[in-house]
Structure 1
Amino acid sequence: MTTLNDFSRCVAQYDPHALPVSAAQAIVRQWATPVAAIERVALRDALDRVLAADIVSPIDVPAHDNSAMDGYAFNRAALASGERSGTASVVELTVAGKALAGHPFAGRVAANQCVRVMTGACMPDDCDTVVPQELVERDSADSIAIRFAANALTAGANRRRAGEDLARGHVALRAGRIVRASDLGLLASLGIGEVSVRRRLRVAFFSTGDELRSLGEPLDAGSVYDSNRYTLFGMLRRLNVDTLDLGVVRDEPAALEAALHSAAANADVVLTSGGVSVGEADFTKQLLQTFGDVAFWSLAMRPGRPLAFGRVWSGAQPGEGRPALFFGLPGNPVAVMVTFYQIVREALLLMAGATPRPLPVIHATSRAALGKRAGRTEFQRGVAEQDAHGHWHVTPTGSQSSGVLSSMSEANCFIALGHDEGDIAAGERVSIMLFDGLI
Structure 2
Amino acid sequence: MSTPAPRTAGQDGPDAPAEDRLWSVEDHLEDILATVRPLDPIELNLLEAQGCVLVEDVTVPVSLPPFDNSSMDGYAVRVADVAGASEEFPACLEVIGDVAAGAGDQLRVGPGQAARIMTGAPLPPGAEAVVPVEWTDGGLGAGPVTGMRARSAAPEGAEGQVYVYRPAEARAHVRAAGSDVRAGDRALSAGTVLGPPQLGLLAAIGRGRVRVRPRPRVVVLSTGSELVQPDEQLTHGQIYDSNSFALTAAARDAGAIAYRVGAVADDAETLRATIEDQLVRADLMVTTGGVSVGAYDVVKEALAHVADEDEPGSGVEFRKLAMQPGKPQGFGSVGPDHTPLLALPGNPVSSYVSFELFVRPAIRTLMGLPDAHRPRTTATLTTDKALTSPKGRRQFLRGTYADGSVAPVGGASSHLVAALAHADALIVVPEDVVSVEPGTEVEVVLLG
Q: Name the TM-score, length of structure 1 as normaliser.
A: 0.68
Residue identity matched to 1:19 = S
Q: Which residue of 1 is the match for residue 4 of structure 2?
A: 4
Does residue 35 of structure 2 align to residue 19 of structure 1? no
CA apart distance, 1:33? 2.0
Residue identity matched to 2:5 = N
Residue identity matched to 1:382 = G
Q: Name the TM-score, length of structure 2 as normaliser.
A: 0.67
Q: 1:417 to 1:46 in 2, by over 3 A?
A: same
CA apart distance, 1:331? 0.9
For 1:269-313, what per-residue CA distance to the aligned partner results, in whole angstroms no more than 9, with x for missing partners? 22111222233443433555674544662333332222222112x
Within 5 A, what are the aligned runs for 1:194-343?
Answer: 194-198=209-213, 201-215=216-230, 216=232, 218-221=234-237, 223-238=238-253, 239-243=255-259, 245=261, 247-252=263-268, 254-264=269-279, 267-285=282-300, 288=303, 291=307, 292-294=314-316, 297-312=319-334, 314=335, 321-343=336-358
- SS at the partner of 1:403? coil
Residues in 1 aligned to 2:209 and 2:323: alpha-carbon distance in whole angstroms: 44
Q: Which residue of 1 is the match for residue 139 of structure 2?
A: none
For 1:99-145, what per-residue CA distance to the aligned partner results, in whole angstroms no more than 9, with x for missing partners? 886679865799xx99999875656779999999999xxx9689988
For 1:35-82, what per-residue CA distance to the aligned partner results, in whole angstroms no more than 9, with x for missing partners? 3373533x4444334556554433211223556679999999x9xxx9
CA apart distance, 1:5? 1.6
- SS at the partner of 1:4? coil
Residue identity matched to 1:30 = A
Q: 1:233 to 1:127 in 2, by over 3 A?
A: same
Residues in 2 aligned to 1:217 and 1:242: alpha-carbon distance in whole angstroms: 27
Residues in 2 aligned to 1:134 and 1:3: alpha-carbon distance in whole angstroms: 71
Residues in 2 aligned to 1:360 and 1:72: alpha-carbon distance in whole angstroms: 52
Q: Which residue of 2 is the match for residue 433 of structure 1?
A: 446
Residues in 2 aligned to 1:418 and 1:108: alpha-carbon distance in whole angstroms: 74
Q: 1:94 to 1:265 in 2, by over 3 A?
A: closer
User: CA contact under 8 A between 1:72 and 1:116: conserved in structure 2?
Assistant: yes
Within 5 A, what are the aligned runs for 1:178-193?
Answer: 178-193=193-208
- SS at the partner of 2:436? coil
User: CA contact under 8 A between 1:212 and 1:226: conserved in structure 2?
Assistant: yes
Residue identity matched to 1:403 = H
Residues in 2 aligned to 1:18 and 1:407: alpha-carbon distance in whole angstroms: 28
Q: Which residue of 1 is the match for residue 424 of structure 2?
A: 413
Structure 1: gaps (5+ residues): 84-92, 315-320, 386-390
Does residue 396 of structure 2 align to residue 379 of structure 1? yes
User: CA contact under 8 A between 2:360 and 2:372: conserved in structure 1?
Assistant: no
Percentage of pairs with the same residue: 32
Residue identity matched to 1:59 = V
Deviates more, 1:23-32 or 1:414-423: 414-423
Residue identity matched to 2:243 = N
Residues in 2 aligned to 1:19 and 1:235: alpha-carbon distance in whole angstroms: 24
Residues in 1 aligned to 2:346 and 2:352: alpha-carbon distance in whole angstroms: 10
- SS at the partner of 1:431? strand
RMSD of Structure 2 on Structure 1 (CA)? 4.9
Q: Which residue of 2 is the match for residue 423 of structure 1?
A: 436
Residue identity matched to 1:380 = L
Residue identity matched to 2:424 = C
Within 5 A, what are the aligned runs for 1:149-164?
Answer: 161-164=176-179
For 1:373-395, what per-residue CA distance to the aligned partner results, in whole angstroms no more than 9, with x for missing partners? 4765443222345xxxxx35443
Within 5 A, what are the aligned runs for 1:395-410?
Answer: 395-409=407-421
Q: Which residue of 1 is the match for residue 17 of structure 2?
A: none
CA apart distance, 1:197? 5.0
CA apart distance, 1:196? 4.6
Structure 2: gaps (5+ residues): 15-20, 85-90, 136-142, 146-160, 308-313
- SS at the partner of 1:62? coil
CA apart distance, 1:403? 0.6
Q: Which residue of 2 is the match for residue 48 of structure 1?
A: 51
- SS at the partner of 1:282? coil
- SS at the partner of 1:5? coil
Residues in 2 aligned to 1:27 and 1:405: alpha-carbon distance in whole angstroms: 29
Residues in 2 aligned to 1:429 and 1:225: alpha-carbon distance in whole angstroms: 34
CA apart distance, 1:346? 2.3
Q: Which residue of 1 is the match for residue 62 of structure 2?
A: 59
User: CA contact under 8 A between 1:62 and 1:161: conserved in structure 2?
Assistant: yes
CA apart distance, 1:323? 1.6
Q: 1:160 to 1:342 in 2, by over 3 A?
A: farther
CA apart distance, 1:327? 0.4
Q: Which residue of 2 is the match for residue 318 of structure 1?
A: none
